[in-house]
Amino acid sequence: MAVDVATQAPPAVPRRPTPNAWGRRLLTAAVLGWFALLILVPTLALVRGAFSGGLAPFWQALSSPDALRAFRLTIGITLVATALNTVFGLAFAVVLVRHRFWGKTLADGLVDLPFAVSPIIAGLMLVILYGPQGWIGRWLESAGVRVVYAWPGMALATAFVTLPFVVREVVPVLREFGVEQEEVSYTLGAGRWTTFWRVTLPSVRWGLAYGVTLTVARSLGEFGALLVVSGNILGRTQTATLYVHDGIESFNTEGAYAASVLLAGVSFVLLIGMETLRKRVEARERPE
């Protein structure tokens, strides 16, 4: 603060730093206090709760067969949902920016819809469609395919909830990038596929990576939709977040705390990744 006043205030405008300085300090302290109270202290309380018995019980809780199965299922579902949404999100972003077609505004609005839908409602929608008596589930059931109360339904629910991320992150980058370089590529005789791989994809890579990171983070943490869709069959359809929830309900608090700390740790790492990627995206959007 002292540096700021010394280097900037005198040449700029005749400001009066003295009455402001206390206001500044007070406001900064208030904001930091609020931030600590809301975000930091609860995080520390969680970590403290998880390690209250030392490291050994923490590891023991995490390496229990139920916990391992839950994390394995979470990883599997995350992989499926992320793969689906990366491929289709990228395709849809290209369609949305480059193509002109009837109903484009509607399609554009529909992409954002999952953000407005409560996870519980998302789960309910999928049960209506794919449940044993559902619109589509009825036919799948007679063909011997189980969607709801099994992992395909959970992957579907996760894909629904995370659908907008890749599209929303790629669209602005793609629009900013323009068509000139692609035109050059076509003029030089490259095919559409080559142009996509060599020109379009590299230009949107940071936006895409950012969208994928958001998708992964949200997939790992999805809970409400999975709770409705999974039926929560122990050891079969229990994901990491469901494991945390059930741990609290059934007084397996050590397990719940340990799994929570691991989930929070992973999301923290992803967050740092996001920060790095966002800087890259912003640098690309504003070349100067």
Is the CB of 27 or the CB of 233 nearer to another protein?
27
CB of residue 61 vs another protein: minimum separation in angstroms? 14
| CB nearer another protein, residue 32 or residue 283 | 32
Q: Least distance in Å: CB of 118 to another protein?
A: 3
Residue whose CB is less far from another protein, 217 or 281 = 217
Q: Pick the closer one to another protein by CB: 30 or 234.
A: 30
Distance, C-alpha 112 to centroid of its chain? 14
Q: Please, what is the minimum distance in Å from the beta carbon of residue 20 to another protein?
A: 6
CA distance 41 to 48: 10
Least spacing, CB of residue 77 vs another protein, in Å: 13
Q: Which is nearer to another protein, 63 or 118 (CB)?
A: 118
CB 270 within 8 A of CB 216: yes
State which residue, 98 or 236, has the beta carbon closest to another protein. Answer: 98
Least Å distance, CB 186 to another protein, is 4
Contact (CB, 8 A) for 159 and 92: no
Q: How far apart are CA 81 and CA 231, in angstroms?
A: 19
Q: Which is nearer to another protein, 75 or 124 (CB)?
A: 124
Least Å from the CB of residue 288 to another protein: 14
| CA 235 – CA 65 distance, rounded (Å) | 9
User: Using H for helix, E for strand and C for coil, what is the string for the chain?
Assistant: CHHHHHHHCCCCCCCCHHHHHHHHHHHHHHHHHHHHHHHHHHHHHHHHHHCCCCHHHHHHHHCCHHHHHHHHHHHHHHHHHHHHHHHHHHHHHHHHHHCCCCCHHHHHHHHHHHHHCCHHHHHHHHHHHHCCCCCCHHHHHHCCCCCCCCHHHHHHHHHHHHHHHHHHHHHHHHHHHCCHHHHHHHHCCCCHHHHHHHHHHHHCHHHHHHHHHHHHHHHHHCCHHHHHHHCCCCCCCCCHHHHHHHHHHCCCHHHHHHHHHHHHHHHHHHHHHHHHHHHHHHHHHCCC
Q: How far is the CB of 55 from another protein (least distance, A)?
A: 18
Q: Nearest distance from residue 205's CB to another protein, in Å? A: 19
Please, which residue, 34 or 59, has the CB nearer to another protein? 34
